[in-house]
Structure formats: structure tokens, C-alpha cells
Amino acid sequence: MKEKDKMNRREFLKSTLLAGAATIVAPRLATADGTGGASPRLAEGAADAQKRDTPVGKLIGSAPVLMNPAERSVDVVFAVNGEASGWVEVSESPDMANAERVYSGNGPVMHVNGKWAVVPVRGLRPDKRYWYRVGADRIDLESGYKPWNRGSEADGSVYSFATLGAETCGSFCVIQDTHSKTETVDRVLAKIAALKPSAIVWNGDARNYYRTADDAIGTFLKPHPDHSAYAAETPVMFLNGNHDFRGRFALHLEDLVPFRDVAERGAGFAALGRNFVQRIGDVALIGLDTGEDKQDTNPRMGGIFRMAKYRKLQTRWLAGEIEKPAVRTARFKVAFCHIPLFDPDPRENPGDVMPDDDDPRYLHPWAAWQRTCANLWGPLFEKAGVSIVITGHQHRYRLDPPDAGRKWTHLVGGCDDVIEGKVVDGKLRIAVHDCIGKTTRTELEFS
């Protein structure tokens, strides 16, 4: 027998023994050779092997976070503690009758990840309530050539969510610039829990930068121990802030905070994974991404960004979206982006200083507001009849009423503000809640 063949046989025997061990203590798992039996001597060795192979601890690592809500789809994201393929069981009734299971990943193989699971749930109906629970299959990819499914673990909780749509009244809340600051996250999530909106628009700068996947997990899946299920029943619509483009893992953030279903956007706009047009009753929510707050040409940015092209592509997308029924038939239109589109102070940098953002006329060498985006999108907002544009970035509340050059109200939310929107008595009411002072800064009404 050749040396290579001997080694292959040794590997085969080793994997067969381990397979037998798994059969004794975990009957639901199949053996490699299909025999399933074991002698007492083998069983002894098997017990040792089982000690090595027994999963330790809970596999589900966080409560589920609903992301990218739409009429017919939602993404369910949660942390796992070990290589796993997450799944979601969805039912039309609270007793989970006739639940359908959906696994991680869209491709021909389950998506297996050691830290988190993203489960895309599709084929839902608009304006409808569903119930769901999450679980995961522990997948062992280390035993030779064959992946092992070590069995399912389920989170015992049953959660509920409602798909969005034009037929159901609802509300939205906006948060911005939380920067993973513990006290801020606690305050704004407590306010959202009290307000119980239909959806949360997380309007950027969720964190300063993303060095690793754990940074993103801590920000989105486990943002605060007192609010572990903050988005298990209230879905999040995430828009990038300038900081959300920074750090090694920021380049892969869509792996954990997934892009919206590409089917929403149509051909040519696949790159616009954060943009959305979504109805909540009479209100059309329009999500846009202002990108980085530095020029693509700024030497500090390493030449890796193409925000100018990205903003133009969004302009083409927006021009098409405002002609579609979801926007045209909406009584109210509200737009969101992270960087403000206006500033009354002439000393604030408008973000169009070439090539490096530095100009002695301005207070800082970075964009306090985005004149380029204002020029690209502003006329489309006017054409569509947008009532208000809600932004952040400046970490301080400000309200800019319409003026001679701008028909839409411009609102800047502070770090500890929760902006609430809902239709009451046929009017759109926007309230800015200050979560430190526990007061309402302003209440606006649009009719």
C-alpha cells in the first residue's frame, strides 16, 4: 500500500469512529458508513470523542434584529456562538401553526458563519402581521471532507412583526449619530420602546469605525444589555453615515447589515443597497446615502472612495422612484439622509471644496453639509412634493423652515434625539424628542 493510501485509510478510520460516537449520544445524526452501531470498546472511545464534540453553550447569541422591512420581505439577523446556519420559522398565527422555515443564504449551500446569521425572508404579503422564531443548525466544517450537521438549537421566544405597506397606518422613529455610546444608545432605545413605531430609520454614524465583525455585532445585534430585543419586533432601516464607511469591517458591513433586496431597485441600481422607498400608510419614506464627509480626492481617504459617482447614481434612481405609484400616490413624502443638505451658517463647510476639503473660509476641513447632494436631489424633492428632509451628522438639533430657495423643511437631529413621525387626523406630525431633557423640542404638522 502506498504511503498516501495508508494515510487516507487512517483518516477514514478516524472519521468513522467519530461518526459512530455521534450516533450513540446524538441519535439524530447519521453515521458516515450508515451502520450506526458500536461495540462496547468503541463506545468507550466514542464517549471520549463525544466529550470533544459536544457543543458547549447556547448557539443563538442574540435576540433577532429585523432589518430592511418592506411589503413582501424582511431580513432577520442574529448573533451565533459557533459555526452555524441560522434559520427563521414564520407563521401567520401566534401558535406558529404551519410555520415555514427559511435558512441563511440565497445560494445552493446554506450560509454558515461563526458569528452571525442573516436570514432573508421573502414572499410575504403587505400590511400583514406574522409571528416568527429563530434557531440555528450547528455545522461542523472541520471533520475531514464532510460537513456535519450537529443539530438544531432554537430560541424559545416567539416574536411578531408586521410587513409595511400603503394600506396600514403606522409611525416611524429616526435615530442618528449614536456612535455606540452606551448612554446615548440606552436613552434612544428606551424612547423607541415607549413609542413603539412601525419601523426605525437609523440615520447613520452608528459607530465611529468598524475594525472587526465584533464591532458591528456590538453595534447592531447587541447594542445595549437593557435593550437586547430592541428590533425583534420593530424593524430597522439603516442608512450609512460617513463613519459607517470607515474601518476594515466597514468594507464588508453589508454581510451583517444586509443590503436591501435587489429586486426593489431594478436593473442598474444593484449598488444602491441602502436606498429605499417604502410606504407606511399615507407616508412615503425615501432613504438616501450622502456618503463620506470628505472628497474622494482628499489624500486622507486613501483614494478608496467613489462617492461622487455613488451620489449621481442615486440621483438617477431617485428620479425614477418619484414617478412610481409608491411616491406619487403618497399623501406625504419624507426623505432621510445622514449629512445635512443645508446650513444657514456660511462658515460651515458645504463639502465641495476640491481637492482636499480645506478652505480658510470654513470652520472644518470636512463637510458639515452636502451642497452637491442638495443640488442633485433638491429639485427632485420639490418635484415629488417632499415635505421634510431629516438628517443628522452635526450632533446638534436644528430646524430650518422652508425659504425662498427651498420648499422643504430641513431638520437636523442631535445624538440623543428621537424623531417621531405619524399621521394623525389626516396630518403628518413630526415630533423631536430630546431623550436627555425628556422634553419634546418641537412638533411640526404637515397637511
Give whichever of 211 and 429 is closer to Fe ion, judged by the CB atom. Answer: 211
Give whichever of 241 and 378 is closer to Fe ion, judged by the CB atom. Answer: 241
Using the contact rule CB under 5 A, the part of the chain among 147-155, 266-274, 348-356, 391-399 near Fe ion is: 391-399
Strand duo 388-391 + 84-91: pairing? unpaired
Q: Is residue 288 a contact partner of residue 377, using CB atoms and an 8 Å limit?
A: yes
Residues near 207 by beta carbon (within 8 Å), at least 6 away in sequence: 179, 180, 215, 216, 219, 243, 244
Beta strands in 266-397 (DSSP E): 276-280, 283-287, 332-336, 388-391
Supply the minimum distance, in Å, between the C-beta of residue 185 and Fe ion.
13
Characterise 188 by phi-psi region: left (phi > 0), alpha (psi -120 to 50), beta (else): alpha
Supply the minimum distance, in Å, between the C-beta of residue 227 and Fe ion.
20
Give whichever of 232 and 253 is closer to Fe ion, judged by the CB atom. Answer: 253
Supply the minimum distance, in Å, between the C-beta of residue 319 and Fe ion.
26
Considering only residues 63 to 92 of the shown chain, the ones binding Fe ion according to CB under 5 A are none
Among the listed residues 150, 393, 422, 433, the single contact to Fe ion using CB under 5 A: 393
Supply the minimum distance, in Å, between the C-beta of residue 290 and Fe ion.
9
Characterise 395 by phi-psi region: left (phi > 0), alpha (psi -120 to 50), beta (else): left
Using the contact rule CB under 5 A, the part of the chain among 181-189, 233-241, 304-312, 430-438 near Fe ion is: 233-241
Using the contact rule CB under 5 A, the part of the chain among 109-117, 202-210, 224-232, 308-316 near Fe ion is: 202-210
Give whichever of 282 and 352 is closer to Fe ion, judged by the CB atom. Answer: 352
Q: Is 241 in the site for Fe ion (CB under 5 A)?
A: yes
Supply the minimum distance, in Å, between the C-beta of residue 439 and Fe ion.
22
Residues near 257 by beta carbon (within 8 Å), at least 6 away in sequence: 67, 77, 216, 220, 238
Q: Is 205 in the site for Fe ion (CB under 5 A)?
A: yes
Rounded CA-CA distance 310/272 in Å is 8
- SS3 (DSSP) at 327: helix
Give whichever of 79 and 367 is closer to Fe ion, judged by the CB atom. Answer: 367
Among the listed residues 53, 153, 155, 177, the single contact to Fe ion using CB under 5 A: 177
Supply the minimum distance, in Å, between the C-beta of residue 394 and Fe ion.
8
Cell numbers at residue 90, please? 414564520
Among the listed residues 198, 242, 290, 295, the single contact to Fe ion using CB under 5 A: 242
Q: Is residue 376 a contact partner of residue 335, using CB atoms and an 8 Å limit?
A: no
Q: Which residue, 358, 362, 359, is CA-closest to 345?
A: 362
Using the contact rule CB under 5 A, the part of the chain among 50-58, 151-159, 199-207, 401-409 near Fe ion is: 199-207
Q: How far apart are the first and last CA of the chain?
A: 86
Give me the residues that bind Fe ion (CB under 5 A), please: 177, 205, 241-242, 393
